[in-house]
């Protein structure tokens, strides 16, 4: 049995206000090709999507259409099993699920927890994101609600999974599809916190007793260590969603279950546009040939000139047309052990002009703006001296 494990598509997301729909379409097309033209000629028996299909509960129409197109293509070749993540609306994502064919299983409600999708001798247990405030009552075995924590509700869900497994033949292999933060995982800036009551994590051993756990939520591919025979893995997001993911190799995971156990293979996904972090004085950034290879990348730029250059964002964009973020961090100025960052827009001159216009109703003259900018530069340096 071969499973393709993916998650965290976040359809409808933007990156520093840049629409990512075309980039998302590109990586989803790559996933579809892995199914239609399988690696080594071994077909994919099911695709599991472990939550966060969309980036928000009410996604834009274009994101919904892209999801529909992707499902149409995938279900031409294999079974698709989808669960809801913390970014999704479980009700909206699962709407009409009972009308779909067996090729598409939308498992977004708590009532499905513990009920597997059966594919030959493999039982796949979808577990949608469990909001403790909602699940602690509905997953409780008596009138008393469960403890208000991710650990307690996921443990209750896994109790249902193990109870169902106990009634099946010994040779049945098992997969759990879950959206959660598992202890030992490493997050990034682009993931929304799921902390409840000060705790956002689930212990690894909560999932003991199954063969493979297809995890979603963390955007970097990784494998939390388990002391049992259970294999847990985050496949990661198919696209980079923040500069904290700059060095992550984006991929999907192929999972083979056979007599020898569980074998996994990360299949890299080509990123539609590379990312880069650049730093230096403005003149160097605009002229150094070494930076030329990043001209078409999504870039974040830190300018280290002592005073903030005029028209900074526009001048950077003249060389790097896909720049997403520009910051001013004068050399030698630090704050709390890190960079003293000043957003690229608006500039001190722009702020001064706006302030004078607001207070006096008149446009500022160049001399006033020169004084304003000089005072700003002196203040930045003074901050650096006092840290």
Comparing 380 with 363, the larger pLDDT belongs to 363
Q: Tell me, yes or no, whether 286 and 253 share the same domain.
A: no
Q: What is the reported pTM?
A: 0.83
241-250 confidence digits (pLDDT tens)? 999 999 999 9
Q: Tell me, yes or no, whether 319 and 345 share the same domain.
A: yes
Boundaries of domain holding 341: 275-386
Both tokens of 387, joined, read: 């840290």
Q: Tell me, yes or no, whether 331 and 185 share the same domain.
A: no
The CATH number covering residue 216 comes to 3.60.21.10
Q: What percent of the chain has pLDDT over 70?
A: 90
Q: Tell me, yes or no, whether 363 and 303 share the same domain.
A: yes
206-242 confidence digits (pLDDT tens)? 999 999 999 999 999 999 999 999 999 999 999 999 9
- Three-class SS of the chain: CEEEEECCCCECCEECCEECHHHHHHHHHHHHHHHHCCHHHCCCCEEEEECCCECCCCCCHHHHHHHHHHHHHHHCCCEEEEECCCCCCHHHHCCCHHHCCCCEEEECCHHHCCCCEEECCEEEEEECCCCHHHHHHHCCCCCCCCCCCHHHHHHHHHHHHHHHHHCCCCCCEEEEEEECEECCCCCCCCCCCCCECCECEECHHHHCCCCEEEEECCCCCECCCCCCCCEEEECCCCCCCCHHHCCCCCEEEEEEEECCEEEEEEEECCCCCCEEEEEECHHHHHHCHHHHHHCCCEEEEEECCCCCCCCHHHHHHHHCCCEEEEEECCCCCEECCEECCEECCCCHHHHHHHHHHHHHCCCCCHHHHHHHHHHHHHHHHHHHHHC
Query: Cα–Cα distance between 176 and 127 in angstroms, integer?
Result: 7
Choose the final residue of a domain: 268, 283, 309. Answer: 268
Q: Tell me, yes or no, whether 22 and 65 share the same domain.
A: yes
258-308 confidence digits (pLDDT tens)? 888 999 999 999 999 999 999 999 999 999 999 999 999 999 999 999 889
> Residue 347: pLDDT above 80?
no
Are 298 and 277 within 8 A, CB to CB? no
Q: Tell me, yes or no, whether 204 and 113 share the same domain.
A: yes
Are 284 and 299 within 8 A, CB to CB? no
Which candidate, 174, 91, 173, places its Cα nearest to that of 126? 174
Q: Tell me, yes or no, whether 124 and 179 share the same domain.
A: yes
Choose the final residue of a domain: 251, 268, 285. Answer: 268
Please tell me the total count of domains within the chain.
Answer: 2
Comparing 11 with 376, the larger pLDDT belongs to 11
Q: Tell me, yes or no, whether 150 and 298 share the same domain.
A: no
Q: Tell me, yes or no, whether 203 and 284 share the same domain.
A: no
Q: Tell me, yes or no, whether 7 and 77 share the same domain.
A: yes
pLDDT confidence band for 193 (50 / 70 / 90): low
Q: What is the predicted pLDDT for the residue at 375?
A: 79
Q: Tell me, yes or no, whether 162 and 299 share the same domain.
A: no
Q: What percent of the chain has pLDDT over 90?
A: 71
Both tokens of 16, joined, read: 């520093």
Residue 52: count of CB within 10 angstroms of its CB = 26
Query: Cα–Cα distance between 309 and 209 in angstroms, integer?
Result: 61
Q: Tell me, yes or no, whether 259 and 309 share the same domain.
A: no
Residue 347: count of CB within 10 angstroms of its CB = 21
Q: What is the predicted pLDDT for the residue at 378?
A: 64
Comparing 128 with 343, the larger pLDDT belongs to 128
Which candidate, 212, 177, 220, 151, places its Cα nearest to that of 84? 177
Choose the final residue of a domain: 268, 302, 320. Answer: 268
Asked if the peptide bond before residue 346 counts as cis, ω within 30 degrees of 0, the response is: yes
């Amino acid at each position: 049995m071969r499973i393709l494990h993916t998650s965290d598509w976040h359809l409808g997301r933007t990156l520093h206000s840049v629409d990512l729909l075309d980039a998302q379409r590109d990586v989803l097309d790559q996933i579809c090709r892995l199914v239609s033209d399988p690696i080594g000629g071994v077909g994919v028996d099911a695709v599991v999507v472990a939550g966060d299909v969309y980036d928000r509960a009410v996604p834009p129409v274009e994101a919904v259409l892209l999801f529909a197109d992707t499902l149409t293509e995938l279900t031409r070749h294999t079974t698709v099993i989808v669960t809801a993540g913390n970014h999704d609306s479980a009700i909206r994502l699962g709407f009409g699920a009972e009308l779909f064919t067996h090729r598409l299983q939308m498992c977004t409600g708590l009532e499905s927890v513990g009920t597997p999708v059966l594919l030959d001798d493999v039982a796949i247990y979808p577990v949608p994101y469990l909001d403790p405030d909602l699940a602690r009552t509905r997953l409780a075995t008596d009138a008393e609600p469960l403890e208000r924590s991710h650990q307690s509700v996921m443990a209750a869900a896994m109790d249902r999974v193990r109870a169902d497994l106990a009634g099946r033949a010994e040779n049945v292999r098992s997969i759990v599809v879950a959206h959660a933060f598992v202890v030992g995982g490493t997050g990034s800036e682009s993931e929304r916190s799921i902390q409840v009551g000060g705790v956002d994590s689930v212990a690894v051993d909560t999932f003991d007793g199954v063969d493979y756990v297809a995890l979603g939520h963390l955007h970097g591919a990784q494998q939390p260590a388990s002391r049992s025979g259970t294999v847990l893995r985050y496949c990661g997001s198919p696209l980079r969603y923040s500069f904290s993911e700059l060095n992550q190799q984006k991929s999907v995971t192929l999972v083979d279950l056979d007599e020898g156990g569980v074998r996994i293979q990360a299949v890299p996904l080509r990123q539609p546009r590379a990312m880069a972090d650049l730093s230096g004085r403005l003149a160097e950034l605009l002229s150094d040939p070494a930076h030329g290879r990043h001209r078409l990348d999504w870039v974040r730029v830190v300018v280290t000139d002592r005073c903030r250059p005029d028209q900074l964002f526009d001048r950077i964009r003249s060389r790097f047309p896909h720049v997403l973020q520009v910051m001013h961090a004068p050399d030698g100025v630090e704050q709390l052990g890190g960079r003293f960052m000043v957003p690229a827009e608006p500039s001190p001159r722009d702020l001064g002009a706006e302030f004078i216009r607001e207070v006096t109703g008149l446009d500022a003259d160049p001399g006033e703006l020169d004084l304003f900018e000089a005072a700003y530069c002196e203040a930045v340096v003074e901050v650096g001296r006092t840290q």
